[in-house]
Structure 1
Amino acid sequence: MERDESRHTLLDSIADLRARGVGNAQNQVMESAGKFEKIRALAGGADAAIFGAGASGRAAAELLKRAGVGFSVYAQDAGAPDFAAKPFGAGAAKAHRLVVYSPAFRPDHEWIRIAEESGAAAICEPDLSALAWEGKIYAVTGTNGKTTLASFLERALNLAGIRAVAAGNIGRPLSAFCAEMEDSSNAAAVCELSSFQTSRLKFLRPDALLWTNFAPDHLDWHKDMREYFCAKFNLVKALRGELLFISKDVAEAAEEYGMEMPAFAKIPADMAPSACPKPFGTSVQSRNFAMASEFLKSLGLQSAAAEAARGFALPKYRFGEPVEARGVKFYNDSKATNAHAAIAALRELSGAESLVWIGGGKDKNCDVSELASEIAKTAKGAALIGQTAGKLAKMLRSSGVDARVCGSMKEAVEIAAKMAGDGGSVLFSPGFSSFGMFSGYADRGKSFQNEVLCLKNLK
């Protein structure tokens, strides 16, 4: 799970927020009593605790402020503001009846255990937002494709006259929208949700669920694939109604792990890439378009997908049109943060002449043998970066691939360009998360883009 930016720190000190109207929950003049009643009841008249000083923590703070609930922020991140970087222990736990934690906190984190043992209710930020959001919630999850699908659905719904916001892991937490919108009863929230956010759902009940795919990922977080699947399956259990759209591999995984998928679950028929509008004219994106079309039709919006596709641009750093520099085509697919996504991109370019792959990053403890096999079949060479570079180099060299370990993005781009040669192609589809070298996939994608532009402008 990577956001466009890895961390958005809280911009206001607790004192500043209180000065703007937080105060003690019992002494507030409450607004929109019905909308915030559940949050106040859960807080039990005490200040809430917020674990994490990033985007989720800030959004939770703003929503609690609107609800008239005081709060304290606890964070372990040394880069967070001083006021937020205080530890949480048994003494602090006694002061709170409600704890809101960010997705960066594992459900078995010591602080959450301490809070629950003291009798506090511990919920993830999406659950907090669900207590205040009054409209529909359309959940989007999956190993890959979530952000593109959520962005597209937001556009399609708005064009169809339904007020919609894209929230969650896509960048802006739903709690932020709950805090700023006076009335959300006639709105729809398209929520991109990762397994980090759905491991222990308590209050969020989506009106529809679109589950794009399922493949190995985040095994540095989940103990095994079954736990990873079950975290996402919590959304199926929480579903309100019968709008459930899944892929074939999701259905197969459910059977493998002994999870019963509801009979009303629909698997959209595949669409040929050539039959899809231009932004969706690849194997991966055609499946996104097919799922979006089926969902929108279930809402009675028969032509919404086709209409929304006109003028729609894929979010940045997804596999798409290349940039040409010095006779080489460069593809920027930085959003490929797992092997499943990188393999899909490699297959899109299986017929490319003289293809070189740039990849590597933070190790997620996933099996990468299939990725290495696909690189060996598709690419003539590889320029490797990040923590996994050495491991990948050994695997690829054993298959006869010219694999080079690079110390920087600049070196990787320059080496890949030379290896590809005039008329060749370079695919930057890392297959791993970016942490350790970059702040997120967007930072990484921008770095690749800048190095390609430097190469293009080189005299």
Structure 2
Amino acid sequence: MENLVAILGAGESGVGAAILAQKKGFAVFVSDLGKIREKYQKVLSDYEIEFEAGQHTEDKILNAELVVKSPGIPETAPLIVKLREKGIPVISEIEFAGRYTDAKTICITGSNGKTTTTLLTYHILQKAGLNVGLAGNVGKSFAWQVAEEKHDVYVIELSSFQLDGMYDFRADVAVLLNITPDHLDRYGYQMQNYVDSKFRILQNQTSDDYFIYCDDDEVVKQEIEKREIASVQVPFGLGAASVPGAGVQENRIIINLKQNQFSMSILDLSLQGKHNIYNSMAAGIASMVFQIRNEQLRESLSDFKGVEHRLEHFLKVHGIEFVNDSKATNVNSSWYALESMHKPVVWIAGGVDKGNDYSILKGLVTDKVKAIVCLGKNNAKIKEAFGDCVADIVEAGSMEEAVRAAYYLARNGDTVLLSPACASFDLFENYEDRGNQFKKQVRNL
């Protein structure tokens, strides 16, 4: 069938890509090897888009002129290998949507802090009155918005998997927060492959574009030295601010950009903790590219509400504080969480281990954690890593068991922290499901 676009995966990004493809006059076929959620089935039916679930009809897909794949499908999947052998282009939804918009894009990636920085940047631009869309790993599908909403600027959170499927796409403003080992199972356990993937955020940039990056991150700094970078480099860190760039002086963040200087006390930032100073600086620089006034920027950085499932101080029960950090799907995220705790912690951790190295947590766990509740199907690595520095390590087979166990182990004045350091797919649909179940069980105590 000529002009067929096949879309693999019928989640938010796949359905958005299908709507855009149909609008652009392509024949569209959506195929998902798993189940398709009811709300997405309804959308596809309403738009009269052909779809299948529970299988891939290969004859049909291998006749497409273009395939848009979900970021969750690895390159090693047999169907992807066949498509590559036939020379059929396989791209991401972001790449596909980028072909049909001339809106400006702020693209944010990094191993940790992406969602917070993306939502904060969106918050700043929206409050300043820009016609701005939120897309990528958060918000609504980029393709769907390009098809139906037409924003002037998009703030897009990009994972390495999305970047892998992007070729001609160009970010007007690229933000790279940090690079720590994550998803190494998808990158042949080679850190350099993962680093290269993150640096794809710079592809096709010109001298008119901006590259905002953390100068305190050793991996990022070393990689920049190896590369020719065309765009305007704007580093940020906890030292003095360069020009252009951002830094901290006498407990104030300073941002220098385009003959403009912005400054505000770090105590006035709505997001506290060292990692959030980085996130606030990155969002601040990105916003200043779009000429946001200093007063507006200051106000937005001080009234932002934070992200659900990311260090969300949820409830106190009998003097025990319950904190939902379900979004911590890697070791580094949990490091930030533990680092920001100031009371004895009962730590709920575990899930699908992505080749985690827990050794960087040892010092923090020794200092701050009184007990660990393992929540996952395979907890051997956690027990092995912390068995000699935490007296109580117990296992739980469900969120209900985990919350109860943590509650019994904690005392008045302690904190129960759900910060899994792992993916969620063994017992939960995703990290949101995991965080919501945590909150539900805490309410039930």
- TM-score bracket for this pair, using the shorter chain length: 0.7 to 0.9
Calculate the TM-score normalised by the size of structure 2.
Answer: 0.85
Name the CA distance, whole Å, in 2 between partners of 1:451 and 1:116: 46
SS at match of 1:318: coil
Name the CA distance, whole Å, in 1 between partners of 2:400 and 2:77: 38
Which residue of 386, 397, 407 maps to 1:417?
A: 407
Kept in 2: contact 1:292–1:305 (CA 8 A): no
Report the alpha carbon displacement of residue 222 of structure 1 after superposing the two structures with TM: 1.7
Report the alpha carbon displacement of residue 57 of structure 1 after superposing the two structures with TM: 1.4
Q: 1:73 to 1:382 in 2, by over 3 A?
A: same
Name the CA distance, whole Å, in 1 between partners of 2:303 and 2:224: 41
Name the CA distance, whole Å, in 1 between partners of 2:228 and 2:364: 31
Name the CA distance, whole Å, in 2 between partners of 1:406 and 1:58: 36
Alignment RMSD: 2.3
Partner of 1:220: 185
Partner of 1:327: 319
Which residue of 199, 206, 211 maps to 1:244?
A: 211
Report the alpha carbon displacement of residue 228 of structure 1 after superposing the two structures with TM: 1.0
Whose strand proportion is higher, 1 or 2?
2
Partner of 1:62: 19
Q: Cα deviation per residue 1:352-397 (whole Å; 9 max; x = unaligned)?
A: 1x32111111110121221244212321111111134232123211
Q: Cα deviation per residue 1:137-191 (whole Å; 9 max; x = unaligned)?
A: 110101111111111111211222221111011142200101112x44xx10101
Partner of 2:417: 427
Q: 1:193 to 1:337 in 2, by over 3 A?
A: same
Kept in 2: contact 1:337–1:430 (CA 8 A): yes
Which residue of 99, 107, 132 maps to 2:75?
A: 107
Which residue of 296, 299, 317 maps to 1:307?
A: 299
Kept in 2: contact 1:50–1:57 (CA 8 A): yes
Partner of 2:52: 83
Calculate the TM-score normalised by the size of structure 1.
Answer: 0.82
Give, as a single letter, the amino acid of the residue that structure 1 aligns with 2:52: F
Which residue of 395, 409, 432 maps to 1:405?
A: 395
Q: 1:374 to 1:401 in 2, by over 3 A?
A: farther
Name the CA distance, whole Å, in 1 between partners of 2:299 and 2:319: 36
Kept in 2: contact 1:363–1:387 (CA 8 A): no
Partner of 1:120: 88
Give, as a single letter, the amino acid of the residue that structure 1 aligns with 2:222: E
Kept in 1: contact 2:6–2:64 (CA 8 A): yes
Partner of 1:294: 285
Name the CA distance, whole Å, in 1 between partners of 2:130 and 2:380: 50
Partner of 2:114: 146
SS at match of 2:278: helix
Which 5+ residue runs of structure 2 have no aligned equivalent? 42-50, 239-247, 253-264
Task: State the percentage of identical aligned residues.
Answer: 29
Report the alpha carbon displacement of residue 203 of structure 1 after superposing the two structures with TM: 2.2
Report the alpha carbon displacement of residue 221 of structure 1 after superposing the two structures with TM: 1.6
Name the CA distance, whole Å, in 2 between partners of 1:94 and 1:198: 23
Q: 1:269 to 1:250 in 2, by over 3 A?
A: closer
Which residue of 192, 195, 213 maps to 1:229?
A: 195
Report the alpha carbon displacement of residue 414 of structure 1 after superposing the two structures with TM: 1.9
Partner of 2:144: 176
Name the CA distance, whole Å, in 2 between partners of 1:74 and 1:254: 41
- Point out 4+ residue stretches in structure 1 off by more than 6 angstroms: none
Report the alpha carbon displacement of residue 320 of structure 1 after superposing the two structures with TM: 4.2
Work out which structure has the larger RCO, using CA pairs closer than 8 Å and 6 or more positions apart in sequence: 1
